[in-house]
Amino acid sequence: MSHRNRQLRVSSLARVEGEGALDVVVTDGRVDSARLQIYEPPRFFEAFLRGRAFTEPVDITARICGICPVAYQTSAWNAIEDACGVEVGAPITALRRLLYCGEWVSSHALHVYLLHAPDFLGLPDVVELARHERAIVERGLRLKRAGNAILEAVGGRAIHPVNPRVGGFHRAPPASELARLVDPLRRALDDALETVRWVAGFDIPDARIDQPLLAAHDPDRYAIERGALVTSTGQYFPAAEFLDHVVEHQVPHSSALHARLDGQHYLTGPLARYTLNGGQLSPLARQAAAAAGLGESCRNPYRSVVVRAVEIVYAIEEALRILAAYEPPRPPALPVEPRAGIGHGVSEAPRGLLYHRYQLDAAGTVMDAVIVPPTAQNQAAIEDDLRDVVARNLDLDDAALTGLCERTIRNYDPCISCATHFLDVRVERR
Amino acid sequence: MTRLAVWKFASCDGCQLTLLDCEDELLTLAEQVTIAHFLEASSRVLPGPYDLSLVEGSITTAADADRIRQVRAQSRALVTIGACATAGGIQALRNYADVDEFRSIVYARPEYVAALARSTPVAEHVPVDLELRGCPIDKGQLLEVISALLAGRRPNLPDTSTCTECKRRGLVCVMVAGGRACLGPITHAGCGALCPAVGRGCYGCFGPMAGANVPALAAQLRRLGRPAEQVDRLLATFNVAAFEART
């Protein structure tokens, strides 16, 4: 077998959300190209959002992703309320953060246990893991259920919640209903701490990515449902300036657009959040992180599994904190009157920063929509990592190297369904 | 053992995630069936034939039109899961627009992007044994379909309207008493009347029920003071093509 010229291809990546392929070409012992191909068919959300009412993107954009619908809903209402000049106030913001914590717990538990852990254990899937370690899988499913229970109690449904709206919620759940979440969440906190210990014991390869990091930042707390933007290169700017820093361009092998931050490939997601905002985690989450061997920052993509586990701990604690102080917001939604203008919104989807921008006319009709999902932002950095992994492991046979490439991609929890739809307003034409 | 396969076409992944959201039943299910092809959950792929194929997503590319025929050929029973596979999904809004214009709005170099002019349901391409409605599907209905197949019986799925579920829950009618626009009278049951339970009108995730009288409801909504374009928008979401076929 010649290692000098080879092509590796995985036509359908497994244990990722959505459909993607991997294509690596090596010529004369050098990596020619390493591509995460996104061939999932486009669905044209930005196009059909034009002409819709300003109240509709919350329901419509949820359908971009069944794994992180609350992220889409949140960035949508942040942008639309920004355009309309409305601030919803602390009680509604707290209920929204609780809802989002449910999505973090559910999505992170899905990724840690069902998608990512099998890589560290050399197994094809969680069913195989359950054959050996049923109690561990049951713990992961309990965690996932705890997250979904929050989504159902606050959002009315775990996938594509029906209760949220622009301005707040259709119905404020009574305190007695939400009180039922508390005991299962207390048990879930133990499960989450066990999870951190479990993943910290994985055989985690050495790796490091050096790209700039980007995350939302909230001066008051670990940013989830809102924030300004902070970067590892020392930039700090409001959501309204996102498109001044992030430029997208189209590449032939992908129905997702690639994004650059101030001209550079960059990364959003758990590593960026932990590195940029880790000091704002709760004492318990920080303690769990330290015991798991995480330092002040984390730039090893394999170790993102530990960061996700720590974020589960934090999200459960946050949910319990919000529930302890919960009083139903009155009214459940503030009136939002449309006005002509442009609004920007960001939030931290489990897999990274999600940006929305809407232009409304005076009647509240959407004239233009821009959505920049996390995986589109991460795609170039993922490919840099792939190229590096291949270059450093050319001595491996094709099967082993392909497997390593697939693991590399899964480290980033890519959501390919999300990445496939967005509008490019600033095109780099060459 | 029954061989289960899960396939994805143009969609958000939410309906196949519903299978993984069966947290209490997943491990029991995994003991009763062989998960032979489920890319989102497993890197182990077994060759066909399959006893039950669950198909998520609509057909939007020429390649996918070929692929669904291959899936059908390998599947004893083929069940579509969700509004995309059953009605074309929200991406079927392109069916009423110019897809080239859509493509040029989203992409700088539209020629890189393959897409058919229409987003179509699976049943427009191959015979379908059962259609499971919803955006997303209901977990209980999914388990019912799989259990029924394992037991060799017909699944028990309601074919009435959302109104019947709403009345059964004892909810006050959001349209008659609250004056809100609600698609409950024409929408297929299955969700358990989630939206009226939070005080909002049904927005039709489960698509039209058999015999839905869409024009009569549209006229009623206009009598409630809803402008015609608002009524049109209400019908033009996740099951747009199915509602459109009944107006």
Mean pLDDT along residues A310-321: 98
CA distance B191 to A389: 46
Residue B114's pLDDT is 67
Judge whether A427 lies within some domain. Answer: no
> Which percentage of chain A shows pLDDT scores above 70?
94
- Is residue A422 predicted with pLDDT exceeding 90? no
In this complex, do B18 and A42 lie within 8 Å of one another by their Cβ atoms? Answer: no
In this complex, do B91 and A44 lie within 8 Å of one another by their Cβ atoms? Answer: yes
Q: What residues of A are in contact with residue B88 (Cβ under 8 Å)?
A: none
Q: Which residue in chain B is spatially nearest to A137 when comparing CA positions?
A: B27
- Is residue A211 predicted with pLDDT exceeding 60? yes
CA distance A316 to A190: 10
Indicate the length of chain B as a whole number. Answer: 247
CA distance A308 to B21: 19
CA distance A72 to A65: 8
Judge whether A338 lies within some domain. Answer: yes
Cβ-contact A106, A148 below 8 angstroms:
yes
Per-residue pLDDT tens over the stretch A72-88: 999 999 999 999 999 99
Indicate the length of chain A as a whole number. Answer: 430
Per-residue pLDDT tens over the stretch A257-294: 778 898 899 999 999 999 999 999 999 999 999 999 99
Distance from the Cα of B91 to chain A's closest Cα (Å) equals: 5
Judge whether A394 lies within some domain. Answer: yes
Q: What residues of A are in contact with residue B90 (Cβ under 8 Å)?
A: 43, 48, 60, 63
Q: Which residue in chain B is spatially nearest to A157 when comparing CA positions?
A: B194
- Dump the DSSP string for A94-116: HHHHHHHHHHHHHHHHIIIIIII
Q: What residues of A are in contact with residue B105 (Cβ under 8 Å)?
A: 44, 46-47, 50, 423
Residue A429's pLDDT band, with cuts at 50, 70 and 90, is: very low
Within this chain, do residues A127 and A268 fall inside the same structural domain, yes or no?
yes
Distance from the Cα of A279 to chain B's closest Cα (Å) equals: 33
* Cα distances (Å, whole numbers) of residue B12 to A14, A18, B100, B176: 16, 8, 22, 34
Distance from the Cα of B195 to chain A's closest Cα (Å) equals: 6
Residue B102's pLDDT band, with cuts at 50, 70 and 90, is: confident
Looking at the structure of chain A, the number of domains it has is 2
Residue B23: burial class (beta carbons within 10 Å; 0-12, 13-18, 19+): buried
- Predicted TM-score of the model (pTM): 0.95
> Which percentage of chain B shows pLDDT scores above 90?
85
In this complex, do A424 and B10 lie within 8 Å of one another by their Cβ atoms? Answer: no
| CATH number, domain B2-151 | 3.40.50.700
Q: Give the tokens for residue A288.
A: 């769990």
- Is residue A221 predicted with pLDDT exceeding 60? yes
Q: Give the tokens for residue A74.
A: 């949140």
CA distance B214 to B187: 9
Q: Count of CB contacts below 8 A, A vs B?
A: 190
Residue B181's pLDDT is 96
Distance from the Cα of B153 to chain A's closest Cα (Å) equals: 26
Cβ-contact A35, A14 below 8 angstroms:
no
- Is residue A423 predicted with pLDDT exceeding 60? no
- Is residue A150 predicted with pLDDT exceeding 70? yes
Residue B179's pLDDT is 94
Within this chain, do residues A163 and A309 fall inside the same structural domain, yes or no?
yes
- Helix (H), strand (E) at residue B51: strand B50-56
Residues spanned by CATH 3.40.50.700 within chain B? 2-151
In this complex, do B112 and A64 lie within 8 Å of one another by their Cβ atoms? Answer: no
In this complex, do B20 and A249 lie within 8 Å of one another by their Cβ atoms? Answer: no
Residue A420's pLDDT is 54
Distance from the Cα of A223 to chain B's closest Cα (Å) equals: 25
- Is residue A430 predicted with pLDDT exceeding 50? no
Q: What is the mean pLDDT of chain A?
A: 91
Q: What residues of B are in contact with residue A251 (Cβ under 8 Å)?
A: 112
Residue A424's pLDDT is 28
Q: What residues of B are in contact with residue A422 (Cβ under 8 Å)?
A: 106
Within this chain, do residues A17 and A113 fall inside the same structural domain, yes or no?
no
- Is residue B108 predicted with pLDDT exceeding 70? no
Interface ipTM: 0.95
Amino acid at A310: V
Q: Which residue in chain A is spatially nearest to B137 when comparing CA positions?
A: A159
Distance from the Cα of B187 to chain A's closest Cα (Å) equals: 16
Amino acid at B72: R
Within this chain, do residues A28 and A72 fall inside the same structural domain, yes or no?
no
Judge whether A429 lies within some domain. Answer: no
In this complex, do A160 and B107 lie within 8 Å of one another by their Cβ atoms? Answer: no
Question: Tokens 């979904």 belong to which residue?
Answer: A148
Distance from the Cα of A290 to chain B's closest Cα (Å) equals: 30
- Helix (H), strand (E) at residue A389: helix A374-392
Give me the domain span that covers residue A25.
6-38
Within this chain, do residues A185 and A237 fall inside the same structural domain, yes or no?
yes
Q: Which of B225, B221, B219, B167 is nearest to B196 (CA)?
A: B167
Within this chain, do residues A18 and A92 fall inside the same structural domain, yes or no?
no
Mean pLDDT along residues A372-386: 90
Mean pLDDT along residues A155-171: 98
- Is residue A38 predicted with pLDDT exceeding 80? no
Q: What angle do CA A77, A80, A85 make, to 5 degrees?
A: 115
Q: What residues of A are in contact with residue B238 (Cβ under 8 Å)?
A: 63
CA distance A252 to A274: 33
Residue A40's pLDDT band, with cuts at 50, 70 and 90, is: low
CB-based contacts of B51: which residues, under 8 Å, 6+ apart? Answer: B2, B3, B4, B75, B76, B77, B149
Q: What residues of A are in contact with residue B9 (Cβ under 8 Å)?
A: 41
CA A9, chain centre distance (Å): 26
In this complex, do A63 and B14 lie within 8 Å of one another by their Cβ atoms? Answer: yes
Q: What is the mean pLDDT of chain B?
A: 93
- Is residue A69 predicted with pLDDT exceeding 90? yes
- Dump the DSSP string for A167-203: TEESS---HHHHHTTHHHHHHHHHHHHHHHHHHHTS-
Q: Which residue has the higher pLDDT, A399 or A164?
A: A164
SS (H, E, C) A356-378: EEEEECCCCEEEEEEEECHHHHH
- Is residue A24 predicted with pLDDT exceeding 90? no
* Cα distances (Å, whole numbers) of residue B177 to A163, A274, B172, B199, B223: 19, 49, 7, 11, 14
In this complex, do A424 and B41 lie within 8 Å of one another by their Cβ atoms? Answer: no
In this complex, do B41 and A255 lie within 8 Å of one another by their Cβ atoms? Answer: no
- Is residue A382 predicted with pLDDT exceeding 50? yes
Residue A162's pLDDT is 98
What is the number of H-type helices and E-type strands within chain B? 11, 5
Angle between helices A182-200 and A283-291 (to 10 degrees): 30
Judge whether A393 lies within some domain. Answer: yes
The verdict on whether omega for the bond into residue B215 sits within 30 degrees of 0, i.e. cis, is no
Residue A90's pLDDT is 97
Cβ-contact A99, A154 below 8 angstroms:
yes
CA distance A354 to A284: 27
Judge whether A352 lies within some domain. Answer: yes
Residue A29's pLDDT band, with cuts at 50, 70 and 90, is: confident
Q: Give the tokens for residue A368.
A: 């233009």
Mean pLDDT along residues A21-38: 84
Judge whether A428 lies within some domain. Answer: no
Within this chain, do residues A355 and A370 fall inside the same structural domain, yes or no?
yes
> Which percentage of chain A shows pLDDT scores above 90?
75
Q: Which of B59, A403, B23 is nearest to B7 (CA)?
A: B59
In this complex, do B42 and A427 lie within 8 Å of one another by their Cβ atoms? Answer: no
Mean pLDDT along residues B62-87: 97
**Strand runs labelled E in A39-172:** 164-165, 168-169
Alpha carbon distance, N-terminus to C-terminus of chain A? 39
Within this chain, do residues A18 and A83 fall inside the same structural domain, yes or no?
no
Residue A426's pLDDT is 25
Within this chain, do residues A365 and A218 fall inside the same structural domain, yes or no?
yes
Q: Which residue in chain B is spatially nearest to A133 when comparing CA positions?
A: B27
Per-residue pLDDT tens over the stretch B149-164: 999 999 999 999 999 9
Strand partners, A261: A246, A264
Out of A16, A158, A250, whose CB is closest to B109? A250
Alpha carbon distance, N-terminus to C-terminus of chain B? 45
Q: Radius of gyration over alpha carbons of chain B, in Å?
A: 19
- Is residue A350 predicted with pLDDT exceeding 60? yes
Ramachandran assignment for A123, one of left (phi > 0), alpha (psi -120 to 50 degrees), beta (any other): beta
Judge whether A277 lies within some domain. Answer: yes
